[in-house]
């Protein structure tokens, strides 16, 4: 009761809590990208090229912001998800082939998630034949038996755990001068490995799944 009374007396604190409540689903959707596939992509990029690919984060962020904002607007204005809008404007046949490709990509993405579970649990000497089935059953129970509030709290907890990235970056003690330099001075290499890694980073940052989730989450 004391907390509720304080919120009533302090409009600034009340507005912050309301903002965080509205922001909650956005935090969860934005955390989708921080999966096993993303960690693998970024760690390989760092291992092979050091800080040289940091500049890709700037154009990737711009494209990501434009695409997500555009999809959010469509969801808010039309009250429909991206799939519905594609079907209405381009027909069922085009929509079918687009989402056939999306389903194929998502199957591959799901495989990387379970590969991440297997790899991370292997660090603790837990067999993949045990960890992967347990993870799969847990996700199935959450989706089928769990309700929205439980799912949201679990996803928010995992989203909060992603702050460990910031802590890890600070503890690694990188050369911040070099980091800043590589951010603003891109150096292109026209070879297959470098270009493939650039495409991999950009593709992972700007996925079609994210666009759909943002559009659906805003209507």
Residue 215 scores a pLDDT above 80? no
Within its chain, how far is the Cα of 98 from the centroid? 21
What one-character DSSP code corresponds to residue 79? Answer: S
Q: State the average pLDDT over residues 170-194.
A: 85
Q: What angle do CA 139, 204, 39 make, to 5 degrees?
A: 65
Most confident of 39-48, 70-79, 127-136, 145-154: 127-136
**If you write DSSP's letter for every residue of 6-48 in order, what string do you get?**
HHHH-HHHHHHHHHHHHHHHHHHHHGGGSSHHHHHHHHHHHHH
| Range of weakest confidence among 37-51, 110-124, 205-219 | 205-219
Residue 216 scores a pLDDT above 50? no
Share of the chain above pLDDT 90, in %: 2
pLDDT band at 133 (very low <50, low <70, confident <90, very high): very high
- Rounded to the nearest integer, the mean pLDDT of the chain is 78
Q: Which long-range contacts link 149-158 to residues 24+ away (Cβ below 8 Å)?
A: 152/24, 152/25, 152/28, 155/28, 155/31, 156/24, 156/27, 156/28, 158/31
Tracing tokens 């519905």 back to the chain, one arrives at: 84
Q: State the average pLDDT over residues 190-195.
A: 86
What local confidence, expressed as pLDDT, does residue 25 receive? Answer: 65
pLDDT digits (tens, 9 = 90+) for 59-116: 888 887 787 777 778 777 877 777 777 888 888 888 888 888 878 877 877 888 888 8
What local confidence, expressed as pLDDT, does residue 137 receive? Answer: 92
Separation of alpha carbons 198 and 201, rounded Å: 5
Question: Pick from 129, 96, 117, 90: which is nearest to 35 by CA?
Answer: 117
Predicted TM-score (pTM) of this structure: 0.67
Q: With both helix axes pointing from N to C terminus, report the angle between 208-217 and 82-122 in degrees, rounded to the nearest 10.
A: 120
Separation of alpha carbons 86 and 90, rounded Å: 6
Structure tokens given for 55: 């500049």
pLDDT band at 217 (very low <50, low <70, confident <90, very high): very low
């Amino acid at each position: 009761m004391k907390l509720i009374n304080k919120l009533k007396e302090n409009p600034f604190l009340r507005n912050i809590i309301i903002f965080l409540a509205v922001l909650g689903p956005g935090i969860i959707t934005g955390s989708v990208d921080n999966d096993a596939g993303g960690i693998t992509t970024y760690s390989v990029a760092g291992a092979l090229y050091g800080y040289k690919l940091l500049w890709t984060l700037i154009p990737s962020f711009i494209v990501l912001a434009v695409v997500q904002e555009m999809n959010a607007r469509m969801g808010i204005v039309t009250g429909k998800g991206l799939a519905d809008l594609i079907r209405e404007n381009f027909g069922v046949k085009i929509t079918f082939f687009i989402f056939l490709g999306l389903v194929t990509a998502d199957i591959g993405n799901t495989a990387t998630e379970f590969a991440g579970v297997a790899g991370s649990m292997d660090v603790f000497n837990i067999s993949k034949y045990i960890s992967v089935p347990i993870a799969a059953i847990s996700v199935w129970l959450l989706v089928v038996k769990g309700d929205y509030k439980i799912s949201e709290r679990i996803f928010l907890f995992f989203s909060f755990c992603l702050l460990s990235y910031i802590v890890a970056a600070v503890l690694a003690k990188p050369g911040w001068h070099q980091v800043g330099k590589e951010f603003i001075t891109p150096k292109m290499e026209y070879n297959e490995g470098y270009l493939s890694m650039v495409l991999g980073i950009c593709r992972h940052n700007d996925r079609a799944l994210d666009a759909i989730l943002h559009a659906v989450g805003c209507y």
